Amino acid sequence: MKSTEYTDFLRSRNVDDDAINCALNNIADFEVYLAHTGKDIDSLQVPSVKKYFTALIADGENSIERFRDLARYFYATGQNEVYIYIISTVSGREVLESISDKLASNMDTRCRDSVFEGLDVPPLGSSPDTYPGNTCLLVNRLMDLGADTCHDVLADNHHGISHDSFQKHIQWFKESNSIDDFLERLHAERIMILQQHLDEDKVWFEQEITPEVIELVKGNQEILSAVRDGEYLYITKIPYSPKNWLKETDTIMKRYYACHCPLAREAIIMNDMEIPMDWCYCSGGFGKLMFDIVFGESTEVEVLQSVLAGDSVCRFRIKLPEKIIPNNTS
């Protein structure tokens, strides 16, 4: 274990001493497990992590704190593939609880209970291919309530992103001569951030950044920003695994590498599973959140393209509020 490097990383994140000691113990537990398999933590491959997660579930030791400590270790030590696997395995579950709360708020608890009846969330740390069945059932039940209701429930801030994280962008919008200037500034900032992560050889969220990825973003302002056309903004989602997406020629795998949703992604490569593209209104809600906050009111989003529907990317259209639409909408 690279304990010094890991400890320094945790301290840089303002983790207190007790939590650091707990994290070190969790990593040490993993090393004990690996010793029995002849593996080393600092040259680890994903299959070993999968087996460990299965063991944790069986022993009832699959806590979110343990998974968080493991993810942080592999991020700190630059083992990007393992880090990304852990994040993709344990993330997304909060979305289900948030959708449940939204449905109860928009409709009522009886409706919520009916929609979620029999949906068994797999244990934390379960293989990603255990989620699509529940996701498919959930979105179909939501669609039974009507497409508008389904889309409205899904297009919310289900990842719990703090509105405070967009305060800078509110100020930028106020300073901008036009929404188009704001979008250009936003795009330039995102490219700069990607370049910093490339220079530091760090993962950006779950994305490995390469020069080719940066060129992809530079060449399309819809990615990580938006392009205005009249009264609409158009957004194209950056692929979840952009490095692999750029190199992939197989259409199914290209869709797989594009999909961000840990609750749906595996369906793309499962022969017996097809999740309606309506599920992507959840991603649309994520994409419009910043604009809701910057504009000071909720916007309408529409899914134009979805990898769940066979497209190679996910693309969205956001309708500008009346007060934001330029006088000249050409």
Encode pLDDT of 172-182 as tens digits. Answer: 999 999 999 99
Confidence of residue 329 (pLDDT cuts 50, 70, 90): low
Domain end call among 115, 133, 153: 153
Neighbours of 162 (CB within 10 A): 8
Q: H-type helices in the chain, by residue range?
A: 3-12, 17-35, 46-59, 64-76, 80-90, 93-106, 109-116, 132-144, 147-154, 167-175, 179-199, 211-218, 242-247, 251-258, 281-295
Q: Structure pTM? A: 0.90
Residues 195 and 190: their CA atoms lie apart, in Å, by 9
Identify the bridge partners of residue 227 per DSSP, sorted by sequence position.
234
Residue with tokens 């301290």: 11
Confidence of residue 197 (pLDDT cuts 50, 70, 90): very high
Residue with tokens 């990603």: 128
Structure tokens belonging to residue 114: 């009916």
CA 304 to chain centre: 19
Are 151 and 134 contacting, i.e. CB atoms less than 8 angstroms apart?
Answer: no
Q: Is residue 327 part of a domain?
A: no
Q: What is the pLDDT of residue 107?
A: 87
Residues 23 and 16: their CA atoms lie apart, in Å, by 11
- Segments forming the whole domain that contains residue 80: 3-90
Confidence of residue 92 (pLDDT cuts 50, 70, 90): confident
- Statement to judge: residues 301 and 175 lie in one domain: yes
Residue with tokens 């609750």: 263
Nearest alpha carbon to residue 264 among 203, 303, 309, 222: 309
Domain end call among 67, 90, 113: 90
Q: Is residue 330 part of a domain?
A: no
Encode pLDDT of 260-292 as tens digits. Answer: 999 999 999 998 889 999 999 999 999 999 999
- Statement to judge: residues 72 and 97 lie in one domain: no
What total of structural domains would you count in the chain? Answer: 3
- Statement to judge: residues 172 and 313 lie in one domain: yes
- Statement to judge: residues 98 and 81 lie in one domain: no
- Statement to judge: residues 70 and 34 lie in one domain: yes
Nearest alpha carbon to residue 262 among 133, 142, 89: 89
SS3 273: coil
Q: What is the pLDDT of residue 273?
A: 86
- Statement to judge: residues 241 and 306 lie in one domain: yes
Encode pLDDT of 291-327 as tens digits. Answer: 999 999 999 999 999 999 999 999 999 999 988 877 6
Report whether pLDDT(328) > 70.
no
Q: Is residue 112 part of a domain?
A: yes
Confidence of residue 12 (pLDDT cuts 50, 70, 90): very high
Structure tokens belonging to residue 102: 């939204």
Q: Is residue 288 part of a domain?
A: yes
Report whether pLDDT(93) > 90.
no
- Statement to judge: residues 200 and 60 lie in one domain: no
